[in-house]
Amino acid sequence: MMTEQLLKELESLLGTDDFEYDSEEIMEKLEDEGAGMDAVEALLAMMERHPADDFGMPGAVVHFIERSYPDYVPMLAASVERAPALQTVWMLNRIINGSDEKEKYLAILKNVSENASAEAAVRKLAADFLEFQAGR
């Protein structure tokens, strides 16, 4: 129950000047209560609902999710395929940088860059990461 309440509080803070500071406190509370993959899934869903919002680069939310590496990676890939967001596309690019499945994740980015229903900024970010990865 506490996890759900904390996640609602976090979502209510999106777009505020205090988000970065307050999100650190909320993520610490989630960690203290032992929140795991259910919280990771809920955070990814939150990013899907707010595709253009800034959750930090990387910020406390991403650090919380990435503590579940590599278990969260399939959830992240599914999230990007389902409803790409700036934050999740950026996180997927971080995965590509060290992945043995680079081609699989590049294909997801390509699909996002061509997805007319995705936000224009999200499509552009995916295209930029594709270009960056091609130069490696």
Query: What is the 3-class SS of 17-80, one letter each residue?
Result: CCHHHHHHHHHHHHHHCCCCHHHHHHHHHHHHHCCCCCCCCCHHHHHHHHCCCCCCHHHHHHHH
Q: Provide the 10 A C-beta neighbour count for residue 127.
A: 15
59's CB contacts (< 8 A; 6+ apart) are 20, 23
Summarised one tens digit per residue, pLDDT across range 91-110 is: 999 999 889 999 999 999 99
pLDDT at position 136 is 65
pLDDT at position 53 is 94
Q: For the whole model, what pTM was predicted?
A: 0.94
Range of the domain at 68: 2-134
* Largest CA-CA distance found in the chain, in angstroms, rounded: 46
Which residues of the chain have a pLDDT value below 50?
none
Domain count, the chain: 1
- Give the CA angle between residues 46, 9, 66 to the nearest 5°: 50
pLDDT at position 57 is 81
